[in-house]
Amino acid sequence: MTQEKISGSQLSTVLFILVMATGVLFVPGITARMALQSAWLVPLGLPLLTGLLSLWAIYKLGRRFPAQTVIEYSPLILGKIVGKGVGLLYILFFLITNILVIREFSVFLTFTLLPETPGFVLNIAVVLLAAYIVSQGVEVIARMAQFILPLFVASLSLLLLLSIPEMAPRRLLPFLEGGFQPVVKASLVPSAWYGEIVVLLLILPHLNKPRELPRKGVLALVWITVFLTLDILATLLVFGPYLSGQLTFPFWTLARFVQFHKSFSRLETLVVILWEAGMILKVALLYYAACVGSLQWLRKVSFGWVLGILGGVQILGACKFVGGQIQLAAILEHVFPFFALPFEIGLPLLLLGVARLSKAGRVRDK
Amino acid sequence: MGKELLKKALGWANEKKGSPQERMPQPEEKRPLSTNWDENQKNLREVFSQCADAVFQETSFNADQPLRILLVYLETLTDQAQISQTIIKSLQQGPLELPDEVSVSPATAPEVLQKHVLSACHPQTSADLLELTKLVLGGNIGILIEESPLAVVVPAQGGQARAINEPENEPNIRGPRDGFVESLKTNISLIRRRLRTSRLKVETLEVGLLTKTAVAVCYVEGLAQPEMVEEVRRRLRRIDVDAVLGSGYIEEFIADEAISLFPLVLTTERPDRVTAALLEGRVAILVENSPSTMVVPCTFISLLQASEDYYVTAPFSTFIRLLRFVALNIALLLPAVTVAVFSFHQELVPITLLSTVANTRQDVPLPIFIEVLLMEITFELLREAGLRLPKTIGQAVSTVGGLVIGQAAVEAGYVSPLPVIVVALTAIASFTAPNYIVGTSIRILRFFLLILAAMLGGVGIMLGLMAILAHLTALRSFGIPYLSPFAPLSPADLKDTFVRAPWWAMITRPRLDGVREPQRQDPDQGPQKPEDSGTRKGRQRS
């Protein structure tokens, strides 16, 4: 599978969809709850910084260990036992994150379109489909992202445009009420979302020109920030900070709300179906990361087994260990950042630091 | 992986039956002709025993010393007039003028025949009984000469062949009307007439132990990638079957995937289409006795293009292509979307339409999914029935289908009019696909999506579409991604996809992984309005 190559622009597309697929739905509500009318400032600060820092660490690690994944080079940096442990932790991290994403998918769809469908049906359906996509390799994921991106961006832009008549700038005032503290506090959750670009640790070897990573990665992060900010801004301007904070999916409610000439209304069904495509891809990407990680960690196991077992684990996890919408929201708000950020930024920086000190890996001559 | 499991499962279904040697006793490689006249005759008659169409005709070669001659040929494959008028006549006449130093004896007879008597017929010689048999089976005449270990072989292919006419499956309004026929030679000539360059290469090989079907690989040297041509050769040589009765047999052997819902080679009966593909650096595979010719690599978009597109004006062609794409989506999605909308997302339907539909559905006993499914199945039945029946009865089928089933079922209130309209629209849309095979893929996937829509509504449709997208992006045809030039994106090649750029703008060939002569024509050939002063000057000069 290592000869599969994806291009730099495919990579930015993948990263954009990875973060935005669920971020656009969950982030506005959570940030509005914590930072009120200043929520739109949140993505511009710490989350972007987290993303950039994580990207930088991953890039530097990638330069030191070209064509290797974190599972392969962490034993080289930290020694066999600790390194293997770190590898295992990363696999678990992707697995658990993906279980949450699968549950986000099914909760969101149950909430919006299929109120009577039991969640497990959707969990199973998305895992099966993702398993099929994963079995086709990372190239397929990247190309599918290229197809989905225009639809995704078009639906976002359309909603943003249509919500303009409903906006009222006074809802953003008073500006920065309560200082920066609420903004910083609210940064934690979006940071965890930005940090999901850490899947790069496993797909970087597939990039055909690794030197493009900083440019394409930053490009993706900038576009993510632009759309996430606009997304939060639109919900705040239309619903105001309090209502935005109370709605589970404010942006979806926005889609229900906006209309164009009466005849063109109730867009949420179409929009949800387009977003569903992004979420499927996100599940597939995280699933892929977990699979490739396990494959390299265990060696000598067939891809089919790993795919099947991890799929079963994810279905089971999503059905059994994550409850309904309220519990999921609580997990995302209060647990997920503390669980994810160490993997997304702590460990990459740690690995890089140790590698620099111990001069592990290829040291470039300048 | 899934693919491997599938292969394994298929492998269990037909356990390996052993190598070809075990399967069919192969005759020894060589059986030289002897100098013994009787033995040769006997052997040859033995080979063709019980073959009613094998003719053994005895005559003599009229030279200073008459030699006995045996003609062997299959009357079903040869041109009788040529045999009686040319070959037998000149044999009986004998050599007209022989140089003095040449005398006719059993040893020299083959050479004399070849060089002096039958030279107009391009004869060749054969010293091997099996080779001779093979040549005779290829429509040649074997000439066995008394006491000579060499037989002379004269080509005299004949027999009935279908005349060249317009391909029924791919009709055309402008542009050429000729279509491929069953004869390989004719088919190659149809391509050669369009490509009068020695760079058009035609390589033939034989496939099928019993049928010995000739398969020709055509490409334009310098345009087709050598690796691609080599890959085609390799895949063709790998085929080991008893029989090849049509290009479909070969297609399934040379495809990149064990099972794919979409055609991985492009089949067409139009020589102009094949020529255009050759000029893009593709490789054509022609199969004897099959008018449908294969072109590889095949991309998804090429299945939505017709050769007609290049003969009509560019804007119109673009319009037609967009229409075709819309039709493709209707054919794939309309039944599924109808079911999803009316059973899950009624809010999408304007209230007046919803109440109209609800009124017509008041007394209908079945849920809309079952209705649509039944009507779809009915339509598929009618279509298949119409296809296999003689044309005269086919009309009766359409009457029964349209009138009895459609109208009567609605009037009786068993089905509501909505599914009938949906199925009719779907059917019309599916007929716009210029390639029959891709139409069949869409037919299968339509049912797949319909079932998903019934289970999960729009969510189900999207799940299905993502699965189809994953399948399509994963497919490759001879190494070329099936969805190119969209994914991976190559912007320069988008000029000939949903839009069709005018010919003067088709400057580069498709990128098909780095074609060797990328430029097709001079870039600055766009039609220009004559400048006022320029024309006046021109007039003055003339």
Cβ-nearest to A117 among B456, B463, B473: B456
* Helical packing angle, A119-135 and A80-112, nearest 10°: 130
Q: What is the maximum alpha-carbon separation in chain A?
A: 66
| pLDDT averaged over every residue in chain B | 84
pLDDT at A275 over 50: yes
pLDDT at B293 over 90: yes
Mean pLDDT of A44-50: 88
Question: What's chain A's length in residues?
Answer: 366
Window 185-224 of A: residues touching B by CB (8 A cutoff) are: none
Cross-chain Cβ contact B483/A143 below 8 Å:
yes
User: Distance between terminal CA atoms of chain A?
Assistant: 32
Between chain A and chain B, the number of residue pairs with CB atoms below 8 A apart is 92
Mean pLDDT of B248-252: 90
Give the amino acid at B302. S
Mean pLDDT of B93-122: 77
A139: chain B residues, CB-CB within 8 Å: 473-474
Residue bearing tokens 């709605």: A247
Cross-chain Cβ contact B456/A132 below 8 Å:
no
- From the CB of residue A174, how many other CB atoms can be counted at a distance below 10 Å? 10
Architecture of domain A8-351: Up-down Bundle (1.20)
Q: Which of A174-178, B120-124, B146-150 has the lowest mean pLDDT?
A: A174-178
Q: How far apart are CA A319 and CA A121, in angstroms?
A: 9
Question: B343, B354, B459: best mutation site toward chain A, by most A Cβ within 10 Å?
Answer: B459
Q: What are the residues of chain B with a beta carbon less than 8 Å away from any beta carbon of chain A?
A: 1-5, 344-345, 347-348, 350, 456-463, 465-467, 469-471, 473-474, 481, 483, 486-489
A135: chain B residues, CB-CB within 8 Å: 1-3
CA distance A326 to chain B (A): 22
User: Which helix or strand (DSSP H or E) is residue B220 part of?
Assistant: strand B213-220
CB A252 within 8 A of CB A112: yes
Q: Which of A218-222, A333-337, B328-332 has the lowest mean pLDDT?
A: A333-337
B348: chain A residues, CB-CB within 8 Å: 266, 269-270
Cross-chain Cβ contact A143/B481 below 8 Å:
yes
pLDDT at B127 over 90: no
Cross-chain Cβ contact B459/A109 below 8 Å:
yes
Q: How far apart are CA B351 and CA A359, in angstroms?
A: 70
CB B263 within 8 A of CB B303: yes
CA distance A143 to chain B (A): 5
Nearest chain B alpha carbon to A281? B466
Question: Which residues touch B140 (CB under 8 Å, ≥6 apart)?
Answer: B73, B78, B153, B154, B155, B156, B157
Under DSSP, the state recorded for A346 is I
ipTM of predicted complex:
0.91
Q: Which of A321-335, B87-101, B301-315, B477-491 has the lowest mean pLDDT?
A: B87-101
User: DSSP H helical segments within B24-96, as ranges?
Assistant: 37-47, 80-82, 89-93
The DSSP-derived string for A303-338 is HHHHHHHHHHHHHHHHHHTS-SHHHHHHIIIIIHHH
Nearest chain A alpha carbon to B485? A143
Predicted pLDDT at B12 = 53
Predicted pLDDT at A224 = 93
Mean pLDDT of B359-367: 85
| Confidence category of residue A128, pLDDT binned at 50, 70, 90 | very high
pLDDT at B502 over 60: yes
Predicted pLDDT at B315 = 92
Q: How far apart are CA A70 and CA A55, in angstroms?
A: 14
Cross-chain Cβ contact B466/A303 below 8 Å:
no
| Confidence category of residue B60, pLDDT binned at 50, 70, 90 | confident
Better pLDDT: B467 or B108: B467
Q: How far apart are CA B127 and CA B143, in angstroms?
A: 11
Q: Which of A91, A133, A96 is nearest to A314 (CA)?
A: A96
Mean pLDDT of A215-235: 91
Cβ-nearest to B466 among A266, A270, A277: A277
Cross-chain Cβ contact A266/B348 below 8 Å:
yes
Cross-chain Cβ contact A147/B489 below 8 Å:
no
Counting residues of chain B whose pLDDT is more than 70, the rounded percentage is 91
Cross-chain Cβ contact A303/B1 below 8 Å:
yes
CA distance A186 to chain B (A): 32
pLDDT at B519 over 60: yes
Predicted pLDDT at A31 = 86
Mean pLDDT of A243-261: 83
Q: Which of A9-23, A227-241, B241-255, B508-522 has the lowest mean pLDDT?
A: B508-522
Cβ-nearest to B347 among A125, A266, A274: A266
Question: Which residues touch B255 (CB under 8 Å, ≥6 apart)?
Answer: B264, B265, B477
Better pLDDT: B109 or A349: A349
Cross-chain Cβ contact B470/A276 below 8 Å:
no
pLDDT at A280 over 70: yes
Predicted pLDDT at A328 = 85
| pLDDT averaged over every residue in chain A | 87
A102: chain B residues, CB-CB within 8 Å: none
Mean pLDDT of A301-320: 89
Predicted pLDDT at B70 = 87
Predicted pLDDT at B542 = 43
Question: A269, A281, A282: best mutation site toward chain B, by most B Cβ within 10 Å?
Answer: A269
Under DSSP, the state recorded for B483 is T
Predicted pLDDT at B11 = 55
Mean pLDDT of A147-153: 89
- Phi, psi angles (nearest 5°) of residue B421: -65, -45
Predicted pLDDT at A366 = 40
A140: chain B residues, CB-CB within 8 Å: 470, 473-474
- From the CB of residue B28, how many other CB atoms can be counted at a distance below 10 Å? 7
CA distance B348 to chain A (A): 7
| Confidence category of residue B448, pLDDT binned at 50, 70, 90 | very high
Dihedral, B335, B336, B337, B340 alpha carbons, nearest 10 = 120
pLDDT by residue (tens digit) across B374-431?
889 988 888 888 777 887 777 777 777 777 777 888 888 888 888 888 998 998 998 8
Strand-pair partners of B145: B69
Q: How far apart are CA A315 and CA A99, in angstroms?
A: 8
Predicted pLDDT at B541 = 47
Counting residues of chain A whose pLDDT is more than 70, the rounded percentage is 97
Better pLDDT: B362 or B106: B362
B488: chain A residues, CB-CB within 8 Å: 7, 10, 143, 146
| Confidence category of residue B23, pLDDT binned at 50, 70, 90 | low
Cβ-nearest to B470 among A136, A263, A269: A136
Predicted pLDDT at B106 = 76
Cross-chain Cβ contact B458/A113 below 8 Å:
yes
Predicted pLDDT at B2 = 52
A308: chain B residues, CB-CB within 8 Å: none
pLDDT at A321 over 50: yes
Predicted pLDDT at B24 = 57
Q: Where are the domains of chain A?
A: 8-351
- Phi, psi angles (nearest 5°) of residue A259: -155, 165
Nearest chain B alpha carbon to A266? B348
Q: Which of A110-114, A242-246, A301-305, B527-531 has the lowest mean pLDDT?
A: B527-531
CA distance A49 to chain B (A): 31
For B461, what's the count of Cα atoms within 13 Å in the CB-facing half-sphere?
26
Q: Is the dihedral of CA A179, A185, A186, A192 positive or negative?
A: positive
Predicted pLDDT at B26 = 59
Q: How far apart are CA A343 and CA B306, in angstroms?
A: 53
Cross-chain Cβ contact B470/A266 below 8 Å:
no
Q: Does A310 touch chain B (CB under 8 A)?
A: no
Q: Does A266 touch chain B (CB under 8 A)?
A: yes
CA distance A309 to chain B (A): 13
Q: How far apart are CA A16 and CA A224, in angstroms?
A: 6
Mean pLDDT of A14-37: 87
Cross-chain Cβ contact B2/A135 below 8 Å:
yes
Cross-chain Cβ contact A135/B489 below 8 Å:
no
Strands B151-155 and B67-74: unpaired
A113: chain B residues, CB-CB within 8 Å: 344-345, 457-459
Strand-pair partners of B480: B477
- pTM to 2 decimal places: 0.87
Question: A124, A136, A263: best mutation site toward chain B, by most B Cβ within 10 Å?
Answer: A136
CB A6 within 8 A of CB A142: yes
Predicted pLDDT at B486 = 83
Percent helix, strand, coil in chain B, to 5, is: 50, 15, 35
Cross-chain Cβ contact A304/B1 below 8 Å:
yes
Q: Is the dihedral of CA A82, A85, A90, A91 positive or negative?
A: positive
